């Protein structure tokens, strides 16, 4: 690890270990990754914020993910909610959430936030439409199919039938998935095929895990 270790104080490493699912070794590796993402002339501290667009372009693992924008907004600690900029600490949290080591329930909490496009604490029809449009670059579904998909998703997850999926309802729907503890990666083609099947929980959970 050599010189990289000295980037952090012992206290900083302990603090980051407490806030993430990483050990100090993995935190240092995240920092190395971060240094590969930021432009050469960008400050190498932990709090300077990198513009969302530049971050997405330079972080290849996320660049192709249609939810990249939402992911940045969920993990950005910027006070400006429209901003989505990322600093090292946000990046570390993001990596921790993507990690296989994270508790699946914690991962679901992040997934829920990502799908809650309008950030009102529930997933409703508006969010589901956004979700479909995010996954499908081209309009492969007509209006009728979109409506059917919404109905199917709500039928599976919206237990009290109020047209909104709360976190608890989301959690219950996700927990039924046989892939809950063993999430397989899927290709974009499979994801689009999945929409046709419209098995809500598998669709959402597989999608979330597909690109990291
Ligand atoms: Ca919402
Ligand atoms: Ca409900």
Instruction: CATH number of the domain at 9, please.
Output: 1.10.238.10
Asked if residue 171 and residue 85 are part of one domain, the reply reads: no
Structure pTM? 0.80
Residue 6's contacts (CB-CB under 8 Å, 6 or more residues apart) are none
Distance 145 CA to ligand 2 centre (A): 22
Asked if residue 150 and residue 188 are part of one domain, the reply reads: yes
Domain count for the chain? 2
Asked if residue 119 and residue 91 are part of one domain, the reply reads: no
In this prediction, residue 178 has a pLDDT band, given cuts at 50, 70 and 90, of: low
Q: Which ligand is nearest to the CA of 127?
A: 1
Distance 146 CA to ligand 2 centre (A): 19
Asked if residue 92 and residue 129 are part of one domain, the reply reads: no
Distance 153 CA to ligand 1 centre (A): 14
The answer to whether residue 107 is domain-embedded is: no
Confidence (pLDDT) at 187: 35
Asked which of 97, 121, 142 is the last residue of a domain, the reply is 97
In this prediction, residue 203 has a pLDDT band, given cuts at 50, 70 and 90, of: very low
Above 50 in pLDDT, residue 172?
A: yes
Domain of 36 in residue numbering reads as 2-97
Asked if residue 117 and residue 84 are part of one domain, the reply reads: no
pLDDT tens for 116-153 read 999 999 999 999 888 888 877 556 778 888 888 888 88
Of 163, 172, 158, whose CA–CA distance to 205 is shortest? 172
In this predicted model, which residue has the larger pLDDT, 42 or 195?
A: 42
Q: How far is it, in rounded angstroms, from Cα 36 to Cα 18?
A: 24
Q: How far is it, in rounded angstroms, from Cα 204 to Cα 129?
A: 13
């Amino acid at each position: 690890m050599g010189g990289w270790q000295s980037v952090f104080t012992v206290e900083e490493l302990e603090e980051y270990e407490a806030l993430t699912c990483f050990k100090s070794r993995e935190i240092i590796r995240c920092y190395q990754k971060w240094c590969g993402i930021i432009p050469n002339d960008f400050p190498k501290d932990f709090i300077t914020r990198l513009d969302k667009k530049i971050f997405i372009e330079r972080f290849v693992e996320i660049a192709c993910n249609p939810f990249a924008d939402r992911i940045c907004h969920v993990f950005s600690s910027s006070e400006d909610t429209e901003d989505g900029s990322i600093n090292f600490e946000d990046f570390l949290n993001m990596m921790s959430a993507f990690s296989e080591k994270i508790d699946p329930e914690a991962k679901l909490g992040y997934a829920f936030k990502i799908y809650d496009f309008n950030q009102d604490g529930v997933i409703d029809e508006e969010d589901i439409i956004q979700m479909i449009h995010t996954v499908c670059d081209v309009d492969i579904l007509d209006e009728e199919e979109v409506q059917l998909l919404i109905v199917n998703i709500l039928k599976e997850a919206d237990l009290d039938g109020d047209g909104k999926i709360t976190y608890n309802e989301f959690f219950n729907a996700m927990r039924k998935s046989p892939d809950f503890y063993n999430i397989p990666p899927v290709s974009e083609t499979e994801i689009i095929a999945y929409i046709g099947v419209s098995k809500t929980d598998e669709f959402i959970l597989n999608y979330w895990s597909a690109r990291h």
